[in-house]
């Protein structure tokens, strides 16, 4: 626990928290606006910040069209939820009722801890690259001296059980549904909680089964290593991403994650059309806001998981950093360097490009999820059961057997 490590950890934490919370806010806007564009509408555009302008006849005229294409709606939503009365109904189980929203929001936040969003990097060399371009050479020397040439991870917690941690933390989210529904002492809430539980036993099984094929291919549950292993290129042009090895499981696992997030088409625990608001019917103000926030943060988290497992994590095909220990161990004939299709580039360019590539992939995935949410009708209760147990579980098992056979044959 030396000082540079703590600094890197704090910066990582700031990045991840800032990213998730902002994505949670932004996605409420994206959800409305994208849904509107998909339905030939204009979408949220009324929230404005009034700007005083001088009026023609003297005095002040308030300009009310500064709406920033509806971006302020996320802000007004947050303000509204904070300012509303936090009403606790008299018939609820106070302790469980109050603790349930945290079971929703904490798993959503901690899951991202093990997701590598930029891979191994050398902060000393990277910062001196950046500062050298600006011309602050003395500052560059100071920072290089502080960090040295040591390699750190752009990942909050480099756990060697990363994938298992994702499953463990993600499955905790169902406690929020069950506890909130039960503690609310309301028929709609209890129905929502029951549905959440039954939905959980539908998706949780094939969720685990579907990812086993990928584990057979990679042979590890370390997220950092899985990410590094996707940095290679086969036959000169096919990136060795998870989706290339397991194209069917890509869709199956995405289905499972979307079911875990309890959004349309898997929104039976909430089911506005049937259960008012499902398991959080009795919640108000920011407690209800925490459920909503968890849901939107989870979209970004799901995208992060999918990207780091199936879409090459932070990798850009053909771009390698000097710190990619796995890649250089695979290619002993090459000398380690920061390369872009063979050409040498500064370390900072590679790392910043990687973080950007990760963010772009995540944003595209969020777009895909919201597209799905606005396209598909809600599944019925029994349909999810049938889909999970009769369609997706057999597919996952067959896929696992085939993958294992192929891997065994190739080794």
Partner 1 sequence: MSEDKFGRNEDFPSIVQAQLLPQPAYQGEFTEGSLFTYRNPSKLTWMERLYLPAILSGLKLTASVFFGNMAQWTIWFFKWITGRATEADKGATTIYYPDVMRPDFSPINRGKHILTLRENDDPQCVACYMCATACPAFCIHIVAGEHPDPQIEKYPVRFDIEIDKCIFCGYCEEACPVDAIRLTPDVHLVDFKRERMVYDKEFLMSWNPTRSQEEHVYPGDRPRTSD
Q: Is 36 in the site for partner 1 (CB under 8 A)?
A: yes
Backbone φ and ψ of 126, nearest 5°: -60, -45
| Contacts (CB under 8 A) with partner 1, residues 52-71 | 56, 64
Q: Is 372 in the site for partner 1 (CB under 8 A)?
A: yes
Q: Which of these segments, 40-48, 279-287, 299-307, 339-347, binds partner 1 (CB under 8 A)?
A: 40-48
Q: Which of 13, 376, 398, 402 binds partner 1 (CB under 8 A)?
A: 376
Q: Which is nearer to partner 1, 41 or 94 (CB)?
A: 41
Residue with tokens 């709606």: 73
Q: Is 364 in the site for partner 1 (CB under 8 A)?
A: no
HEC string for 244-267 = HHCHHHHHHHHHHHHHHCCCCCCC
Q: Which is nearer to partner 1, 18 or 50 (CB)?
A: 50
Q: Which is nearer to partner 1, 57 or 342 (CB)?
A: 57
Which helix (H) or strand (E) segment holds residue 368: the answer is: helix 347-375
Q: Is 38 in the site for partner 1 (CB under 8 A)?
A: yes
Q: Which of these segments, 106-114, 154-162, 235-243, 367-375, binds partner 1 (CB under 8 A)?
A: 367-375
Contact 308, 292 (CB under 8 A): no
The helix/strand count (H/E) of the chain reads as 16, 9
Q: Which of 13, 37, 133, 329 binds partner 1 (CB under 8 A)?
A: 37
Q: Is 158 in the site for partner 1 (CB under 8 A)?
A: no
Find the shortest distance in angstroms from Cβ 34 to partner 1: 7
Instruction: Give the separation between CA 24 and CA 300, rounded to whole angstroms.
Output: 7
Please state, in angstroms and as integers, the Cα–Cα distance from residue 322 to each residue in 119, 338, 344, following that order. Answer: 11, 5, 10
Backbone φ and ψ of 52, nearest 5°: -75, 130
Instruction: Give the separation between CA 384 and CA 202, rounded to whole angstroms.
Output: 7
Q: Is 261 in the site for partner 1 (CB under 8 A)?
A: no
Residue with tokens 């990687």: 354
Instruction: Give the separation between CA 93 and CA 103, rounded to whole angstroms.
Output: 16
Q: Is 360 in the site for partner 1 (CB under 8 A)?
A: no
Find the shortest distance in angstroms from Cβ 375 to partner 1: 4
Q: Is 375 in the site for partner 1 (CB under 8 A)?
A: yes
Contact flags string 215-254 toward partner 1, x per CB under 8 A: ------------------------------------x---
Q: Which of these segments, 33-41, 96-104, 145-153, 329-337, binds partner 1 (CB under 8 A)?
A: 33-41
Backbone φ and ψ of 153, nearest 5°: -105, 140
Q: Which is nearer to partner 1, 342 or 377 (CB)?
A: 377
Please state, in angstroms and as integers, the Cα–Cα distance from residue 102 to each residue in 98, 241, 291, following that order. Answer: 8, 35, 8
Instruction: Give the separation between CA 291 and CA 189, rounded to whole angstroms.
Output: 14
Find the shortest distance in angstroms from Cβ 204 to partner 1: 19
Find the shortest distance in angstroms from Cβ 264 to partner 1: 13
Residue with tokens 């579907």: 210
Distance of CA 89 to the CA centre of its chain: 33
- Give the interface with partner 1 as residue ranges (CB under 8 A): 34, 36-42, 45, 56, 64, 251, 371-372, 374-376, 387, 391
């Amino acid at each position: 626990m030396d000082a540079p490590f703590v600094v890197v950890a704090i910066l990582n934490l700031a990045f991840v928290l800032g990213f998730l919370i902002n994505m949670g806010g932004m996605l409420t806007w994206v959800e409305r606006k994208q849904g509107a564009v998909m339905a030939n509408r204009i979408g949220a555009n009324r929230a404005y910040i009034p700007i005083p302008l001088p009026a023609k006849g003297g005095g002040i005229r308030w300009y009310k069209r500064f709406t920033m294409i509806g971006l302020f709606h996320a802000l007004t939503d947050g303000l509204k939820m904070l300012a509303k009365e936090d009403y606790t109904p008299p018939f609820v189980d106070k302790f469980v009722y109050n603790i349930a929203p945290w079971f929703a929001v904490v798993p959503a936040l901690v899951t991202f801890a093990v997701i590598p969003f930029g891979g191994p990097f050398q902060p000393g060399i990277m910062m001196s690259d950046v500062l050298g371009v600006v011309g602050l050479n003395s500052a560059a020397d100071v920072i290089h001296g502080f960090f040295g040439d040591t390699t750190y991870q752009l990942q909050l917690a480099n756990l060697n059980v990363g994938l298992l941690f994702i499953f463990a933390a993600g499955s905790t989210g169902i406690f929020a549904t069950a506890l909130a529904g039960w503690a609310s002492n309301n028929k709609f809430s209890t129905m929502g909680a029951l549905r959440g539980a039954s939905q959980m036993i539908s998706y949780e099984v094939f969720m685990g089964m579907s990812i086993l094929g990928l584990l057979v291919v990679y042979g590890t549950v370390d997220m950092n290593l899985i990410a590094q292993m996707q940095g290679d290129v086969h036959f000169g042009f096919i990136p060795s991403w998870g989706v290339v090895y397991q194209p069917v499981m890509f869709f199956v696992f995405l289905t499972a994650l979307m079911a875990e997030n309890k959004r349309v088409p898997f929104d039976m625990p909430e089911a506005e059309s049937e259960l008012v608001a499902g398991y959080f019917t009795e919640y108000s103000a920011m407690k209800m806001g925490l459920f909503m926030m968890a849901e939107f943060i989870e979209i970004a988290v799901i995208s992060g998981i999918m990207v780091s497992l199936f879409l090459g994590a932070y990798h850009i095909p053909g771009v390698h950093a000097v710190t990619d220990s796995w890649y250089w161990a695979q290619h002993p004939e090459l000398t380690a360097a920061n390369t872009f299709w063979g050409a040498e580039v500064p370390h900072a360019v590679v790392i910043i490009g990687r973080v950007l590539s990760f963010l772009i992939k995540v944003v595209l995935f969020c777009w895909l999820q919201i597209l799905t949410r606005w396209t598909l009708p809600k599944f019925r209760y029994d349909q999810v059961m049938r889909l999970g147990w009769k369609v997706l579980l057999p597919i996952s098992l067959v896929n696992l057997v085939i993958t294992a056979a192929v891997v065994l044959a190739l080794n």
